[in-house]
Structure 1
Amino acid sequence: MQPNLASHIQIQFSHWDITRPGYVEADTVAHCGDSVAGRFAWSLTVTDIFTGWTENRAMWNKEGGLVYERISDIEKVLPFEVLGFDCDNGGEFINHALHDYFTKREKPVQFTRSRPYKKNDNAHVEQKNWTHVRNLFGYDRLDKKKTVVLMNDLYRNEWSLLQNHFMPSMKLKSKERIGAKYKKQYEPAKTPYERVLESDSVADTTKEKLQAIHATLNPFTLKKIIETKLVEIFKHIKVSSNVRQRL
């Protein structure tokens, strides 16, 4: 983290009042196995708070320049424009390249960061780190650079299509404190694809393109391709004693 820059980035004490897509959280996941020594692959997770639409990208180490490139790549495929970007205080995010990328465009993006050591501030993306990264690759050490290319081939294609078009999730509708407990109500489970189609903020032309893609997809076929690609990826690593959860 660059201290002088961090002091100019607003801390997000509470989540935005989200009524449309475009406000995203981002985080990174280390594929280091039992040791952070040396060089290894990282995964970047970017998730939209309103729809749950999530994209992942792999990179070799997590230098700020690489994160900037991966976020730019993700932004090109999102079915909505990014309006707000929230992250933790890691140096891969708090750097001038990424800050300028969001704040010096024609329509600046609101750039915020969480409080140090407060993981709940990024609860949406933390949950996706589990469902979209750990459930796929587990906790094994990915320390062969060639695996990054294979991971991105999976992340950009079948994994994104399966998760965003076919995997529903529930959204918290309300939370009421009653005594020492909270009463929570949830909206019906929907896929990110469904929430994008329901949003008045997404252009009709974008929805039509998504519908055309959706009509060509079969979740069972996607899962078979994912398993085939995982076999190829795990040929390049030494599987640890940790149990890797699979689809």
Structure 2
Amino acid sequence: MALTLARLERDRTDIPRYASNMTLIYLLRHCESSANKEGILAGRIGNIALSKLGLKQAHQIAGALAQESFSKIYISPLQRCAESIEPFLMKSRKRAIKEPLFLEMDYGKWSGRKLSELRREKHWKSIQSEPSRFTFPSGESFVAAERRIKRGLNKVARSNPKGKVLVVSHGDPIKIAVQLALKGDLDSFQRIVIDPGSVTIIDWPTGTLIGANIPAKSLGSRTKKQDGGLSKRMLSNRRVLGGGTNVSTRI
């Protein structure tokens, strides 16, 4: 499932157009942060800024979304999400609504630690294969996160019937949103790839997936050469906890 979700089957020159009777939700994963670059599981740590690459992605997103008319823009309250959408807000003169339902998962005592270190934890394999059974020490369970994300999607859809909205969030919440849209099993959501600075589009509450993991530069265009350049190790890193925090989207 991850390979088909991570790639559009044909090249596109713009964001996919789709006539919807429900609510089109554009899910933007925040651009590359300093934690992403350093391979750290940031969780809900608030004072994490974008990296140099992330700032570049944010400006590219502002240009790519310039022609999009969103009825509302919702963002996770964390700094890296605000910085990711700031250039677009300035350009479009729009305001964003902070929505805690789209916060990153609460990784509890795992927050702020290196992924290379966390891979040695005894629960690592079960988190990847059976996340529905796991609760982070002093943190959130994947089941609770799934309920939270579903509430967020429903809230957005109720407030914007037949509208088009932008939600700026994080890797795991967006992966969970895709899994919910496809009516999949929570234990398989870790197979979905969502890179920093990418856009995923769903129709809610029908659960139609319009496009997934569309890179910041093109927001819809991904060449065969780019797709063919993924090694097994790179793909594995991008599937990990946190949405893949130690691999940057090339732009």
TM-score (ref. length: structure 1): 0.30
Q: Which has the higher contact order (CA 8 A, sep 6+)?
A: 2
Structure (1 or 2) with the greater strand fraction: 1
